Structure 1
Amino acid sequence: MVSKIPIIKQCTVSHNQQQGDLMVEDLASYLDRNKNLIFPHRHNFYHFLLFTKGGGRHSIDFETFTVAPWQIYFMAPGQIHVWQFDEDVDGFVVNFNKDYFKTLLLRPAYIDQFSFFSGLVKDEVFTVDEAERTAVVNIFERLRGNVQDTEFAQISLLYLFHVLEKQRMLPQEVEGNAYNHTLLRNFMGLIEVNFRELRLPKEYAALLYITPNHLNALCKAFLGLSAGELIRDRILLEAKRLLVIPDYAISSIAYELNFNDNSYFTKFFKKAVGKTPDEFRRSIDLINKQDGK
């Protein structure tokens, strides 16, 4: 039987008093209570961290970052991550369930509009602007003291998301681009649902009622990648997530990802990653053993 990547539930990492839909805590105390959670794992809730001091390493979906003060890390449900932090690290950690905003928003998927909930790791890690740091810390502190006041906490979280999103907006991201942003987010959502079956940009373009050229230009303009590269990268990410499972046969992974045969999957993976699936699996095992020393 395949041993899956552990899925951590919010109730297992929260204070007894904070087993609702939202948890806000000092990062140092959270890490002290969950000091054994140093193996690769995923959550069934949204999870984000703000570092105010300390350092270390933090990997999200196989991309590793050197931690520095005032970095913020967002993670969506299902993403694999693992950390190795210094003893003096501190800041804030927030966990909230998928349906947390259901009672406040008519459209709970509203939070998907924020770039750091895109599911793309490059959008999920950034540094808080110096001009916003005092305001951001104040919001975290108010949240920590008012977790049980659901409406206050929901509005405060949304305000925090808008503050962080505003600092990331480029001058050219004006209101006239709203349609293109919506198209791009819809494309990313379609990839998430269909990447196992649909591999060609023209298939997604048809679902979006635009031409493949329009879709490709859109992806290049906003993400610097072609539509085909985004589809490929999502397939590769899922392959990497499955390869972390030690006793999951590579042939079974190829079948799950809808490749015709194991050799085609191996060629596809090696061309993109520079390693065969088996070599990638061994390298991840080696890193995990070194981190566990």
Structure 2
Amino acid sequence: MAQHVYPSFDICNLNTDKILKDLISIEPFGGYVSRNPHLQGIHTHSFYHLTYFRKGSGQHTIDFHTFLVSNDSFYIMKPGQVHNWEFSAEEAEGIVINFSPLFFDTLKLSSALLVQLPVLEDIHSGTISFSDADKAKAWSILEQMLREKQEGGKQSALYMATLLLQFLILAGRQVQSTDPASTAEHIHYAAFRQFEQLTGLHYRQKKLPKEYAEMMFVSTHQLNIISKTFSGLPAGTYIRNRLLLEAKRLLVNFGMHINEIAFELDFSDASNFGKFFKKYTGMTPEQFRNAYKPE
């Protein structure tokens, strides 16, 4: 596995108030970016990063997709995603939470429960807007978390965990209200989760839908239905996009040569990798890399 040269941060690398063995932090967003200037360049995290903006302007780029910062919106970044911020002169206002899955394990709450939360899954990356009915409720939960961190008390961390779960469930309901298919009750939900996990493990060596269909004991036709239901994409495109995402992540790892990246992604040589990348992005690997090089 390649070693990433762009920075990868743990919560302990942040200039922020941390609790429970550096496994979670929560604070007002004001000043967060200025106190952590190392976060403004392209980087990745080993933890979940959540931000709820009450107001502000600028943009947030997650895995090469740019989202405009807007009022009363919620942004989420999952471990391993490449990420950077750009803000206008007026600093954004909101609350930022960083937490490791181990936060729940330490409290004897299995981090496995996080996979039950649609808002934390790859199919819902990016930004979520709360309905008018739920904005006040969401903000109230976050303010309770802030107060609990400041005041402390018996089983304070456990109480904060329950509040965080409430917030994530409420955020997930915003997703479900706009995308009814993306619910744990859907007949194909478990199968898509399996497909998603398998592509995350095997996208380097297995690039054909039939290979995943065989592992899942379904037909290629059934796999296409499953993929389209949740991602909106045929299975082949979903697999290819996962490979392209990793290629982009590695290309902004400026310490790796392109032939190393081709080898890492199981291409026979840099030429074949370059043809593949240009066919589906419209840019050569060098052109993509140059677009993200720091000035």
| Mapped pair 1:158 → 2:165 | yes
Specify whether residues 14 and 182 from structure 1 end up closer, same or farther in structure 2 by C-alpha distance, changes over 3 A only: farther
Alignment-derived partner of residue 13 in structure 1: 14
For residue 247 of structure 1, report the CA deviation from its aligned partner.
Answer: 3.1
Name the CA distance, whole Å, in 1 between partners of 2:184 and 2:7: 43
Q: Secondary structure at the match of 1:219?
A: helix
Length, aligned pairs only: 286
Q: Is the 8 A contact 1:115 1:123 kept in 2?
A: no
Aligned partner of 2:63 among 61, 64, 77: 61
Alignment-derived partner of residue 50 in structure 1: 52
Which letter does structure 1 place at the counterpart of 2:196?
M
Alignment-derived partner of residue 249 in structure 1: 257
TM-score by length of 2: 0.90
Alignment-derived partner of residue 146 in structure 1: 148
For residue 177 of structure 1, report the CA deviation from its aligned partner.
Answer: 4.2
Name the CA distance, whole Å, in 1 between partners of 2:265 and 2:231: 25
| Mapped pair 1:218 → 2:221 | no
Q: Is the 8 A contact 2:17 2:26 kept in 1?
A: no
Name the CA distance, whole Å, in 1 between partners of 2:94 and 2:109: 32
Q: Is the 8 A contact 2:44 2:82 kept in 1?
A: yes
Which letter does structure 2 place at the counterpart of 1:55?
S
Aligned partner of 1:39 among 23, 38, 41: 41
Q: Is the 8 A contact 1:117 1:124 kept in 2?
A: no
Name the CA distance, whole Å, in 2 between partners of 1:2 and 1:220: 33
Q: Secondary structure at the match of 1:169?
A: helix
Aligned partner of 2:96 among 83, 93, 104: 93
For residue 96 of structure 1, report the CA deviation from its aligned partner.
Answer: 0.4
Name the CA distance, whole Å, in 2 between partners of 1:175 and 1:91: 28
Name the CA distance, whole Å, in 1 between partners of 2:99 and 2:271: 41
Name the CA distance, whole Å, in 1 between partners of 2:287 and 2:165: 43
For residue 32 of structure 1, report the CA deviation from its aligned partner.
Answer: 2.8
Which letter does structure 1 place at the counterpart of 2:239?
I
For residue 106 of structure 1, report the CA deviation from its aligned partner.
Answer: 6.0
Alignment-derived partner of residue 280 in structure 1: 288
Superimposed CA distance per residue, residues 51-100 of structure 1 (whole angstroms, 9 cap, x where no aligned partner): 11111011011111111111211111111101011332110100001212
Q: Secondary structure at the match of 2:44?
A: strand
Alignment-derived partner of residue 79 in structure 2: 77
Q: Is the 8 A contact 1:14 1:23 kept in 2?
A: no
Name the CA distance, whole Å, in 2 between partners of 1:176 and 1:143: 27
Which letter does structure 1 place at the counterpart of 2:102?
D
For residue 116 of structure 1, report the CA deviation from its aligned partner.
Answer: 2.8
Query: What residue ranges of structure 1 are gaps of 5+ in the alignment?
Result: none
Specify whether residues 127 and 55 from structure 1 end up closer, same or farther in structure 2 by C-alpha distance, changes over 3 A only: same
Name the CA distance, whole Å, in 1 between partners of 2:247 and 2:145: 37
Q: Is the 8 A contact 1:7 1:42 kept in 2?
A: yes
Which letter does structure 2 place at the counterpart of 1:5?
Y
Q: Secondary structure at the match of 1:125?
A: strand
Name the CA distance, whole Å, in 2 between partners of 1:84 and 1:176: 35
Alignment-derived partner of residue 116 in structure 1: 119
For residue 115 of structure 1, report the CA deviation from its aligned partner.
Answer: 2.7
For residue 104 of structure 1, report the CA deviation from its aligned partner.
Answer: 5.3
Q: Is the 8 A contact 2:62 2:126 kept in 1?
A: no
Name the CA distance, whole Å, in 2 between partners of 1:211 and 1:144: 49
Name the CA distance, whole Å, in 2 between partners of 1:100 and 1:166: 23
Identity %: 34
For residue 150 of structure 1, report the CA deviation from its aligned partner.
Answer: 1.6
Name the CA distance, whole Å, in 2 between partners of 1:186 and 1:104: 27
Which letter does structure 2 place at the counterpart of 1:8?
F
Which letter does structure 1 place at the counterpart of 2:241?
D
Q: What is the root-mean-square deviation in Å for CA atoms of aligned residues?
A: 2.2
Specify whether residues 173 and 124 from structure 1 end up closer, same or farther in structure 2 by C-alpha distance, changes over 3 A only: same
Name the CA distance, whole Å, in 1 between partners of 2:242 and 2:204: 9
